[in-house]
Amino acid sequence: MDNTRTPSRRRFALLACFATLACAVALLAGCNSSTPSAGSAGSADTGSAAEDTSASATGTLIVGFDQSYPPYGFVGDDGEFTGFDLDLAAAVADKLGWDVQYEAIDWDAKDTLLNSGAINCIWNGFTMEGREDDYTFSEPYMLNEQVVVVRADSGITSLEDLAGKTVITQVDSAALDVLEGDQADLAATFASLEQIGEYNTAFMQLESGAVDAVACDLSIAAYQLAANPDAYLQLDEALSSEHYAVGFKQGDTETADAVTEALRELNADGTVQELCDKYAEYGLTYDNWVLE
């Protein structure tokens, strides 16, 4: 049999190819039409909906905290997590019928962990001033200040005496925010402003003479002075005054409101006073409680 195609046969084959191609183009256009097929929109919405990891939705309060932040969150002598804020979180969870889970975190990673759902609140002596646009907060519950601690024998007695000195603070801390913001002129007089991962090491460096001063929360200063009353001196003038609150992911107002109301009830029934007394030896006082 002769398989050689004649010119007419070739033309016919070519026309058939063009027809097939045109049908394919039309089919693709139909698939990519802006009018969605039935059920396609629902599928897209389901896939894109973000999972609600809030305590109100899950029934579990996952507390992100710095385990080196006494008296609010730290490792006790028995090797277990303890602290005023951790006990307070447990009391709130119990009152609201939630479970509570503690997650010791790298403080610098707190935002990533909160936004990913690995934790659903930051509760650890967390200053709200200057962070209002980044989190949804409970109402403030504790008064705080940013202060400076020096060695008792340093001869430093005022903020002005810090000129030419090395000052250290925790990375991403409220003290750092103040020294880079409202107190930037003061910080400009320092020989250097150092940052470190946690305050326990900062005070070890102060004790050794590696740095001249530590800028920190009032609660941290009170804890260190209670533990070493003859070693340190807190300067009288504070860098700033502020408040502690519980930080939640932006928009999680349901959980924030529930926690605030539970804190009010715990204050009314005397639980807050009991916890303040429990940690009084660490320098914590009920006098600084502000939520009525």
Residue 177's DSSP bridge partners are none
Domains in the chain, please, with CATH? 55-141+245-288 (3.40.190.10), 143-242 (3.40.190.10)
What pLDDT, on a 0 to 100 scale, did the predictor assign at position 283?
Answer: 84
**Rounded to an integer, what distance in angstroms lies between the CA atom of residue 246 and that of residue 89?**
10
Strand blocks (E) in the chain = 60-65, 68-69, 73-75, 81-82, 99-104, 121-122, 136-137, 142-151, 166-170, 192-196, 213-217, 232-234, 240-244, 247-248
- Tens digit of pLDDT per residue, the chain (292 long)? 444 333 333 333 333 444 443 434 343 344 333 333 333 333 334 333 579 999 999 999 999 999 989 899 999 999 999 999 999 999 999 999 999 999 999 999 999 999 999 999 999 999 999 899 999 999 999 999 999 999 999 999 999 999 999 999 999 899 999 999 999 999 999 999 999 999 999 999 999 999 999 999 998 999 999 889 999 999 999 999 999 999 999 999 999 999 999 999 999 999 999 999 999 988 899 999 999 9
What pLDDT, on a 0 to 100 scale, did the predictor assign at position 219?
Answer: 86
**Rounded to an integer, what distance in angstroms lies between the CA atom of residue 259 and that of residue 248?**
10
Answer whether 225's CB lies under 8 Å from 283's CB. yes
Q: Compute CA 124 distance to the chain's CA centroid, rounded to the nearest angstrom.
A: 9
